[in-house]
Structure 1
Amino acid sequence: MNFAGRLQFRRLMCLMVRQNFASECENAINKQIHLELKSSYDYMAMAYHFDRSDVALPGLYGFFKSASSEEREHAAQLMTYMNKRGGTICLEEIPAPQFKFTTVKAALIEALDMEKTVNESLLALHALANEHSDPHLSDFLETNFLIEQVDAQKQLADYITQIERCEKELGVHIFDNDIKGKDMH
């Protein structure tokens, strides 16, 4: 079977499994996949910034590297879900990170802003699922994403508060050691 034939066969199989899955939800999931992959890419850039020899904060490196992995896993969960529902995954180009932070506090604020953006997008997707009477998608989002987003935002806000208390170099070193080995919720 040639490529066009395989593509036609795949579309037919997707139609067989597709039920109560609005194209608007499919499009929104694709946007969410892109946002999760972009967040993963951004967190990876942050991680390796803190791994540089002139920065040397291994706790923050590990924290942001873990956050990157988590966001990539979220994208994978969404892609698996999309295939289960008979949708088509449409990956897009991911722009290079554009960070301008010069302090740990600024990096944490940037991360919190990213998490809020992801959360807003998930809430909009959840509302869209409800609008289209799609309890499967609503449950999937509630079970796998929404609570975790609140936990991540709380954790980052706590870290920002803690770093504000210790903005001197020794304080940053102590903070970095404190978060070593902790993953993003």
Structure 2
Amino acid sequence: MQALRASMACSAMASLAPCRHGRMMASASRVAIPSASPAVGKRSLCVTRAQAQDVKEQYETAEHKGIVFKPMKAGKEQLEQVASAHLTSSSTDDSLARLNFAAEQEVGINEQINHEYAMSYQYHAMSNFFNRDNVGLQGFAAFYRVSSLEERAHAQQLMDYQATRGGRVKLAALAAPPPDYNHEQKGDALYSMEIALALEKLNFQMLYSLHETADKAGDAQMTDFVEEMLAEQADAVKEISDFVAKLRRVGKGLGVYEFDQLLATKAQEMYASLPSPV
């Protein structure tokens, strides 16, 4: 019975030895260690109360000197930035999420946002033209209307990204698009599609410049984001180029009416693939 009490006392003393995470645990060098051998399974090595207290004092000394945990300098700087941020301020310096996001990147994204809105505005004007009672090309009207929604969705995508990186969205005034798209030689269908091609090619160039800005800043995350938009934009340029080539072949007669039916189907497909606004 005395031997059993002594063994229990040793186990209780072993639980006093602290670990480096601040919890009390058995110390490998001073506590009872069960033997792996069945022959000595009941024997154990134990510590005295004085030895356990010595271990505790050594741990507390190490923690006080910063040996147990010492935060990195970069981590301390980020903590100070978060602590000093004001949620009610519009200043970029007060962003909680901003990290390695240069002013040039923020400006470039805002320029792209406003260009996407300008394209949306232009496509909306073209849609309204073809929806006139004296034009009556509903396929063109639907295609340009959905194209307008698509560009606005791209603008929203960029605005969401700006918020993700801690930037501030700044919208600019939009120039009024022309109300009429009649062209004496080309006709309204071909002329409007050539305008669409010019817009899509300009959009590709602007996205390419935005990618260069992110690359110069060494921002791999932003370059990946822009590359996804570039891939989609390259497909859009090719598609509109094909439309222009076909319209140049059909002229201004019956071929335009047949092409209008093709665009009506295309508009339905585009609308079905649009992202949810919420």
| TM-score computed with the length of structure 2 as normaliser | 0.61
The runs of 5 or more residues in structure 2 that have no matched partner are 1-85, 183-187, 274-278
- Counterpart of 1:128 in structure 2 is 213
Q: 1:133 to 1:6 in 2, by over 3 A?
A: closer
Corresponding residue SS for 2:265: coil
Instruction: State the AA in 2 paired with 1:139.
Output: D
Query: How big is the shift at 1:147?
Result: 1.1
Q: Matched residue of 1:162: which SS?
A: helix
Match of 2:248 in 1: 164
Name structure 1 gaps, 5 residues minimum: none
How far does residue 98 in structure 1 lie from its aligned partner after superposition? 3.1
**Structure 2 CA distance, aligned partners of 1:6 and 1:14?**
7
Q: Which residue of 1 aligns with 2:196?
A: 111
Aligned partner of 1:23 in structure 2 is 103
More helix by proportion, 1 or 2?
A: 1
Shift of 1:75: 0.3
Structure 2 counterparts to residues 1-185 of structure 1, below 5 A: 7-8=88-89, 11=91, 15-98=95-178, 101-102=181-182, 103-143=188-228, 145-183=229-267
Query: In structure 1, what is the Cα distance between the partners aligned to 2:160 and 2:105?
Result: 15
Q: Alignment RMSD, CA only?
A: 1.9
Distance 1:159 1:111 in 2: 10
SS in 1 for 2:152: helix
Shift of 1:6: 6.0
Contact 1:46 1:107 (8 Å CA) reproduced = yes
- Which residue identity lines up with residue 106 of structure 2 in the other structure? E
SS at match of 2:88: helix
- TM value normalised by structure 1: 0.90
Cα 1:89–1:168 shift into 2, 3 Å:
closer
* Percentage of identical aligned residues: 37
What does the per-residue CA deviation read over 1:28-56, in whole Å, with 9 as the maximum and x for residues that have no partner? 10000000000000000001111111111
Q: What secondary structure is seen at the aligned counterpart in 1 of 2:168?
A: coil
What letter is aligned with 2:130? F
2:266 alignment partner, SS class: coil
Rg: which structure is higher?
2
Aligned residue pairs total 179
- Contact 1:14/1:87, CA 8 A, preserved across alignment: no
SS at match of 2:234: helix
Confirm or deny: 8 A CA contact 1:79 1:89 kept in the other structure. yes
Residue identity matched to 1:173: Y
Do the aligned partners of 2:127 and 2:145 also contact (CA within 8 Å) in 1?
yes
Q: CA offsets per residue over residues 71-113 of structure 1, 9 Å max, x none?
A: 0000000000000100011111111013663121110000000
Distance 1:68 1:26 in 2: 24
In structure 1, C-alpha distance between the alignment counterparts of 2:141 and 2:179, rounded to whole Å: 15
